[in-house]
C-alpha cells in the first residue's frame, strides 16, 4: 500500500480562536497556533491516537484580516464553517507515491511545504479533483518520525475526554461501485468489508489503523441519495467507555444525541452534533465485542 495511514482531516473555520475554544471545552488538547508564511493560513490541531496510529483534526483559518483578500484566503473562507474539506493520507516517500499515481493518471494540483518559524515540518501534495474518489485528497510526508511527532503532542498534555484512536471517516459516493473500483484500481486501496443497513451500503477501505468508508444508497428511496457527494463532516473516534465519555461531554455543556447500537457489528455509538462543534459531527464509538 502507498499509504501509512489517514493522517488528518481539514476543518476550515472563520474564527480559529472560537472554534478551538469549543473543542477545548469538550476536554480536548488543541495545539498552539502556528502560521504558515507561504499559505498565510493559521493552524491548530487536535491530535488523536498514539505513535502507531496518529491522526489529527487540523483547524484552519486565515492568519490576519488582510489575508482575507488574497486568493488563498478567499478560497479558504468560501469553505469555512461548512464542515470537513480535505482528507490527507500519510506517505513515507512523497515523490515515489506521486510517481506511482502518475502512472495511473493521477497528478498533483499543488505542492506545499509546511514551514513554521523557519522549521520545515512536512511536504504536502494536493491531488487533482477526482469525482470518483468522492473526496478531496492530499498526501503528506513528515520530516520527523511518528514517535517524535507523538512525543511533541504528548508534551502538551492528555485529553480530558479519553480518545483511543480514529476509527473511521466517511464520504458519500453516489456511484458506489465506480468509486470502489477507483479506490482499488487507481488509488491502490481495496474494499475489505461491507455493512448494509436498511438505507445505506457502507464499503470499508482500510488505510493504516483506521477505515475510510464509502457510503451509497441501499434502496431507491434511501435518504443518502439526497445528500451531496463528498467527505462526510464527521469523524468516528473509539473511546474506552461510551457512557463515561457521554457523561463527561454532558458535564461540559454538550448535548449528546443518538446513543444506540452502531451500524458496525459489535459497537455502540453516540454523536455530538456538529451544530455544537463547528459543523463537525463527533461520533463516539465503543467496541463491545
Enumerate residues 6+ apart whose C-beta is below 8 A from 72: 39, 40, 41
Q: Give, for all 289 residues of the chain, the pLDDT tens digit.
A: 689 999 999 999 999 999 999 999 999 999 999 998 888 899 999 999 999 999 999 999 999 999 999 998 999 999 999 899 999 999 999 999 999 999 999 999 999 898 888 889 999 999 999 999 999 999 999 999 999 999 999 999 999 988 999 999 999 998 999 999 999 999 999 999 999 999 999 999 999 999 999 999 999 888 888 888 899 999 999 999 999 999 999 999 999 998 999 988 899 999 999 999 999 999 999 999 8
CA distances from 282 to 60, 113, 219, 247 (A): 18, 29, 26, 15
Cell of 230: 463528498
Name every residue whose Cβ is closer than 8 Å to that of residue 21 and which is 6 or more positions away in sequence. none
Radius of gyration over every alpha carbon of the chain, rounded to an integer in angstroms: 18
DSSP conformation letters of 33-61: PEEETTTTEEEEEEEES-TTS-EEEEEEE
Would you say 60 and 72 are in contact if contact means Cβ atoms under 8 Å apart?
no
Amino acid at each position: 500500500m502507498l499509504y501509512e495511514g489517514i493522517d488528518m482531516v481539514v476543518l476550515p473555520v472563520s474564527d480559529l480562536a472560537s472554534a478551538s475554544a469549543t473543542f477545548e471545552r469538550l476536554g480536548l488538547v488543541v495545539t498552539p497556533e502556528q502560521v504558515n508564511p507561504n499559505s498565510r493560513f493559521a493552524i491548530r490541531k487536535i491530535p488523536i491516537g498514539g505513535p502507531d496510529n496518529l491522526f489529527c483534526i487540523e483547524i484552519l483559518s486565515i492568519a490576519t484580516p488582510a489575508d482575507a483578500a488574497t486568493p488563498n484566503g478567499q478560497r479558504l473562507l468560501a469553505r469555512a464553517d461548512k464542515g470537513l474539506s480535505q482528507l490527507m493520507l500519510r506517505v513515507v516517500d512523497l515523490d515515489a507515491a506521486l510517481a506511482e499515481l502518475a502512472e495511473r493518471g493521477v497528478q498533483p494540483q499543488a505542492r506545499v511545504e509546511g514551514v513554521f518559524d523557519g522549521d520545515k515540518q512536512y511536504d504536502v501534495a494536493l491531488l487533482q479533483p477526482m469525482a470518483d474518489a468522492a473526496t478531496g485528497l492530499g498526501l503528506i510526508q513528515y520530516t520527523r518520525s511518528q514517535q517524535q511527532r507523538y512525543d511533541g503532542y504528548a508534551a502538551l498534555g492528555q485529553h480530558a475526554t479519553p480518545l483511543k484512536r480514529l476509527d473511521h471517516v466517511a464520504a458519500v459516493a453516489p456511484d458506489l461501485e465506480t468509486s470502489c473500483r477507483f479506490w482499488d484500481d487507481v488509488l491502490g486501496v481495496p474494499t475489505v468489508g461491507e455493512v448494509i443497513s436498511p438505507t445505506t451500503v457502507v464499503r470499508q477501505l482500510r488505510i493504516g489503523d483506521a477505515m475510510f468508508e464509502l457510503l451509497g444508497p441501499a434502496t431507491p428511496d434511501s435518504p443518502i441519495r439526497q445528500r451531496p457527494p463528498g467527505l462526510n463532516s464527521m469523524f468516528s473516534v473509539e473511546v474506552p467507555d461510551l457512557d463515561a465519555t457521554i457523561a463527561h461531554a454532558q458535564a461540559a455543556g454538550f448535548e449528546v444525541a443518538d446513543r444506540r447500537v452502531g451500524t458496525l457489528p459489535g459497537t455502540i455509538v453516540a454523536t455530538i452534533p456538529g451544530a455544537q462543534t463547528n459543523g463537525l459531527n463527533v461520533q463516539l464509538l465503543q467496541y463491545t465485542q
